[in-house]
Structure 1
Amino acid sequence: MTSPAFPPAFLADLDRLFIWRRDVRHFRTTPLPDSVLDTLLHEACLAPSVGLSEPWRFVRVDTPARRAAIRQNFIRSNARELDGRSGEDAQRYATLKLSGMDEAPHHIAVFCDTNPAQGRGLGRASMPETTTWSAVMAIHTLWLAAAARGIGVGWVSILDPAEACSTLSITPHWQFLAYLCVGYPQEPASTPELERRGWESRNPARRRWINR
């Protein structure tokens, strides 16, 4: 069996996919078909994982009461974040839209089973955190699969993890990693919203190798 050869046109499309994969906060309320969500989950599970442990756990949050509790978690966490800032920084932070939870039709919480039986511990003895990194790679794989279909994903990170686990009745040894809003974006963009709003810009120095 030989490896597939990817033509230049595919590589150009792949470059565009990386550029157009954005953190989305403005969603249309139109729900995705369940078959599309299932496809995104299938492709996310093609991500690499240490020892083939597949430690990711994707949880669809559909219950209105649980969604409302997560939203309150965000509101409290965001208020604490704002209280920790001052002056112009606080004013600019207050203008940012940091969650698409109210509009996004789908909410997906992502967890990591930090010590799964699958994989039998291979590659984890000296670096057990590789299970977490593996689960994060699955999130990114889902994100790219969504972007390739014109679907937006927004990562809500301003949450209290312990409270989120309690709200979602999650087993204690699962580590909370991400709360994702998923749906069709209102306005697709090829640049980060934070960059468009003047919050931050990309640093060209990060695109250079560090040689030792």
Structure 2
Amino acid sequence: MADLSFTAQERRAVYRAIAERRDMRRFVPGRAVDPDVLARLLAAAHAAPSVGLMQPWRFVRITDDTLRQRIHALVDEERHRTAHALGEREQEFLALKVEGVLDCAELFVVALREGRQAHIFGRRTLPQMDLASVSCAIQNLWLAARAEGLGMGWVSLFEPEPLAQLLGMPADADPVAVLCLGPVPEFPDRPALEIDEWAYRRPLDEFVSENSWTLP
């Protein structure tokens, strides 16, 4: 049987991209992303698997500065609402750097396409598989960005309906992510929320069981 695995060097590169991917919030202002690199990143995202090959992702590139400012305002409004909902951790949350909308070189809004209800294959019992498919596309983009030396941050602090209206989306299309992309000063060796002492990554053995649910 033919050996279908990558070479050892290629495998190391794949696992390195996975291990060193970070949810980035700090970017180098004024630095652009090369158009050829951006094309490769979007092609990587579009190569993601999707349930029933429905390809539910839609990427809206934001190049208008006024529109970027308005998206930032939506994010900042939700940042304060989230902080208030956290109760005793409100001020601790407000001290965190949670987005880079105004600083990143490229800004994208990722949405679930309209008309998804027509796709039954793989969604009859699990309709959320459209969101799972979009998440695969975002992860592809994230890993490819890390391989290209670029950082990316996934911002979910926004009310979907106002953002959809701002971008003129169809009524049944749903924004799920604001993606900040671009050159970064460094890639930290740990997740930012660990560095900021907000939360800590738990060990793998707390997430895997065999034959029955024996998990914490």
User: TM-score, normalising length from structure 2?
Assistant: 0.89
Amino acid at match of 1:96: L
Contact 1:151 1:183 in 2 (8 A): yes
Q: Distance in 2 between matches of 1:181 and 1:86?
A: 28
Q: Aligned runs of 1:1-212 on 2, under 5 Å?
A: 4-29=4-29, 30-87=31-88, 89-113=89-113, 115-116=115-116, 121-204=120-203, 208-211=207-210, 212=212
Amino acid at match of 2:26: H
C-alpha distance 5-34 of structure 1, shift in aligned 2 (>3 A):
same
Question: CA offsets per residue over residues 13-50 of structure 1, 9 Å max, x none?
Answer: 22211111000001012010222111111111111001
Q: Distance in 2 between matches of 1:167 and 1:65?
A: 11
Q: What RMSD over aligned residues (CA atoms) do the two structures have, in Å? A: 2.0
C-alpha distance 194-106 of structure 1, shift in aligned 2 (>3 A):
same
- Report deviation, 1:207: 5.2
Paired residues in the alignment total: 210
C-alpha distance 169-6 of structure 1, shift in aligned 2 (>3 A):
same
Identity across the alignment (%): 30
Contact 1:115 1:131 in 2 (8 A): no
Q: Distance in 2 between matches of 1:36 and 1:74?
A: 27
Aligned to 2:121, what secondary structure does the other structure show? coil
Question: CA offsets per residue over residues 148-200 of structure 1, 9 Å max, x none?
Answer: 11110011111111111111111112121100000011121231111011111
Contact 1:61 1:107 in 2 (8 A): yes
Aligned to 2:130, what secondary structure does the other structure show? helix
Amino acid at match of 2:109: A
Structure 2 unmatched runs, 5+: none
User: TM-score, normalising length from structure 1?
Assistant: 0.91
